[in-house]
């Protein structure tokens, strides 16, 4: 989870230096929400399959 959040932050910081792009805090929130959903889905599926 921490790696996903740090990567999202670093990606937005990188975009500050790309012409025509802008780093957005909301993009970090969206990426973090996606990471939470993915990790939760994986853990839920793993628990379901292991019984």
pLDDT tens for the 51 residues of the chain, in order: 999 999 999 999 999 999 999 999 999 999 999 999 999 999 999 999 997
Give pTM, 2 decimals. Answer: 0.83
Domain boundaries, the chain: 2-50
Helix (H), strand (E), coil (C) string for the chain: CHHHHHHHHHHHHHHCCCCCCCCCHHHHHHHHHHHHHHHHHHHHHHHHHHC
8 contacts 28 by C-beta, under 8 angstroms:
yes
The set of residues, in sequence order, having a beta carbon less than 8 Å from that of 24 and lying 6+ positions away, is: 12
């Amino acid at each position: 989870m921490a790696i996903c959040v740090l990567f999202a932050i670093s990606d937005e910081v990188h975009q500050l230096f790309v012409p025509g792009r802008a780093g957005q805090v909301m993009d970090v929130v969206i990426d973090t929400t996606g990471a939470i959903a993915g990790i939760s889905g994986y853990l839920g599926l793993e628990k379901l399959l292991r019984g």
